[in-house]
Amino acid sequence: MSDALLSVQNLRIEFPTRRGTLVAVDDVSFSISPGEVLGVVGESGAGKSLTGNAIIGLLEPPGRVAGGAITLEGRRIDNLSYDRMRRIRGREIGAIFQDPLTSLNPLYTVGRQLVETILTHTDMTPTQARDRSIELLQEVGIPAAERRIDSYPHQFSGGMRQRVVIALALCANPRLIIADEPTTALDVSIQAQILALLRRLCRDHGTAVMLITHDMGVIAETANRVAVMYAGRLVEIGAVRSVIKQPKHPYTVGLMGAIPAIGSDVDRLSQIEGSMPRLTAIPPGCAFNPRCPHAFERCRSERPDLIASDESGVACWLFDEDASDVPMEVAGHA
């Protein structure tokens, strides 16, 4: 897409180890438009956080981007110096991590942290910055913000701290927000408030959001599109409704079936047998083939690429248009 705000092309992330190079993210491509929320789901260890960290330039060594390109509003950002990247982070990209305590300094008041961040990234005066801070705290739903602004992080509840982290990420009106499990540690009641806030930002300010989460319910009500990762690769991407209602990739199908639903009185949930392979033992061909109920000969030797059109894509041989070797009954099922 030409109007993409963020574009990730063929991203590859490696970890050099004594026993060889581990490929943790392999050939991942996607883009996010202004005002759009892209949900990212997948098995634990699939490479979701690494992908997010690579975009904000916070990949922990020895992990490194070993291939591909990341572009923000048309500019490459994956090859910038640490200092230039730091300025982009905060000003153009805001980051929200799961644990609010790691993002807040316990020794400074919430207000001081907000004001300093605003002063670093904008040309406001200190008074303007303080007013803006109060405004931000109100926006994220902190009651009595003008009084609470001088509190220390430990004087806030977990949910309030997470909202402060969000306020910090919003300080400079970033164009893109990377939110990695932003509501996992929160109660459902507070979770609903925070997701409503993210949606409002997208709608009113055209902010783009990459929302990483395990919670399909969160994706369903927040995301426009969803990307599914498995063993370091993107296996399916598409509009949220079609991925949830008509998943194509056998892993996505298994994932959706495994979610319990209120009102559905099934005795057993459908389950995907086995577990995701370790990075050191990714099978040849399709990485999902040992667990896939539809695997056939080709899956064990040839790796399926994401067959991507503009809006959606799936990396599975069952959906290879010009394949002649897809078993009949399987093709019918798909």
Partner 1 sequence: MPDAAAPAPSANGEVPLVEVVDLAKHFDVSKPFLNRLLEAEQRQVLRAVDGVSFTIPRGKTFSLVGESGCGKSTVARCVVGLYRPTQGAVLFDGTDIAGLRTRAQIRPFRKRLQMIFQDPYASLNPRWRVSNIISEPIRAHGLASSQQEVQSRIDDLLTHVRLTPADGEKYPHEFSGGQRQRISIARALASNPEFLVCDEPTSALDVSVQAQILNLMKDLQRELGLTYLFISHNLAVVYHVSDWVGVMYLGRLVEWGEKRRLFRYPRHPYTRMLLDTIPDLDMSGRDRQPVAGEVPNPINPPSGCAFHPRCPHANARCTEELPRALPVEGGGQVACHAVEEGRLAVEDRGTITPPPIEDALRAGA
Ligand X SMILES: Nc1ncnc2c1ncn2[C@@H]1O[C@H](COP(=O)(O)OP(=O)(O)OP(=O)(O)O)[C@@H](O)[C@H]1O
Residues engaged in binding Mg ion (CB under 5 A): 49
Cα(10)–Cα(12) distance, integer angstroms? 6
Closest to 303 (Cα-Cα) out of 281, 323, 283, 278: 283
In eight-state DSSP terms, residue 223 is: -
State the minimum distance, in angstroms, from the CB of residue 117 to ligand X.
25
Span from 69-77, 101-109, 204-212, 236-244 in contact with partner 1 (CB under 8 A): 236-244
Two structure tokens written together for 173? 């009106």
Task: Quickly tell me which residue has 């409704």 as its tokens.
Answer: 241
Asked whether 39 and 222 are in contact (CB, 8 A), the reply is yes
SS (H, E, C) 92-113: CEEEECCCHHHHCCCCCCHHHH
> Segment 291-320, which members bind ligand X (CB under 6 A)?
none
Query: Which among 63, 52, 57, 78 has a CA at the least distance from the CA of 21?
Result: 63
Encoded one letter per residue, x for contact with ligand SF4 by CB under 6 A and - for no contact, window 273-312 reads -------------x-xx--x-xx---x----x--------
Q: Tell the smallest beta-carbon distance from residue 219 to ligand X (Å).
A: 13
Residue from 147, 155, 196, 301 in contact with partner 1 (CB under 8 A): 196
- C-alpha–C-alpha distance, residues 94 and 209, integer Å: 9
Residues in contact with ligand X, total (CB under 6 A)? 13
The reply on whether position 100 binds ligand SF4 by CB under 6 A is: no
Q: Are 220 and 240 in contact (CB under 8 A)?
A: yes
Find out whether 109 and 130 touch, Cβ atoms under 8 Å. no
Q: Which stretch binds partner 1 (CB under 8 A): 61-69, 107-115, 120-128, 212-220?
A: 212-220
The reply to whether 280 sits near partner 1 by the rule CB under 8 A is: no
> Which residues make up the interface to partner 1 (CB under 8 A)?
43-44, 141, 157-160, 187-193, 195-196, 214-218, 220-221, 240-241, 244-245, 254-255, 257-272, 275
Residues lying near ligand SF4 in the complex (CB under 6 A): 249-250, 286, 288-289, 292, 294-295, 299, 304, 316-318
